[in-house]
Amino acid sequence: MAATPPNELVSVGEVLISAEELQKKVSELGAQVSRDYAGKDLVMVGVLRGAVVFIADLLRNLTVPCEIDFMAVSSYGSSRDSSGVVRILKDLDDSIEGRDVLIVEDIVDSGLTLNYLIRNLQARDPASLEVCTLLTKPERRRVDVPIRYTGFEIPNEFVVGYGLDFGQRYRNLDHVALLPEDAVPGR
């Protein structure tokens, strides 16, 4: 039998939210969304790339019919600070006119990216538009954004794992970990 390769991700930083806590919360959110969207025309819009893991788990906890679509946006700024100037790298494949849209985000930090997305999608005349985010950092908020479903409020720390990256790494952690202040992208 082949030897198990060493897990180089284990020692990233302190575990902030364990895999078990994440799964429990996602199943609670799934139940809540299923209750609220019974009889509606739900399309979940995942924001690439960070929300991929969360939306995949959330989807499997829904008991109502739904579709998923994706948008990719890039926010100008450093890897830790967004500028509010957002560019669409990939737009939705389908129209959301008249649909009940739920934006699924990995994390709301300053709120600038989400603020842009809400305004952009609202202009397409959905029947309803709500937001579900796994994480939020209320201390960092620079613009007020309406969030219907929140997984966890976290302190003002940079985190990785469960879809969230630093320099495109660490998305494959099954938990959310703090990133050490001295971490280098792509390490």
Phi-psi region of 109 (alpha: psi -120 to 50; beta: other; left: phi over 0): alpha
Nearest CB to ligand IMP, comparing residues 20 and 81 = 81
Contact with ligand IMP (CB under 6 A): which of 46, 111, 126, 151? 111
* Nearest residue to 164 via CA among 69, 88, 50, 32: 50
- Rounded distance, CA 168 to CA 3, Å? 27
- Smallest distance from the beta carbon of 153 to ligand IMP, in angstroms? 13
Contact with ligand IMP (CB under 6 A): which of 46, 50, 126, 151? 50
Q: Mind giving me the DSSP string for 102-148?
A: EEEEEEESSSHHHHHHHHHHHTT--SEEEEEEEEE-GGG-SS----S
Nearest CB to ligand IMP, comparing residues 39 and 181 = 181
- Smallest distance from the beta carbon of 164 to ligand IMP, in angstroms? 4
Our finding on whether 133 is near ligand IMP (CB under 6 A) is no
**Contacts to ligand IMP by CB under 6 A:** 50, 75, 82, 105-114, 158-160, 164
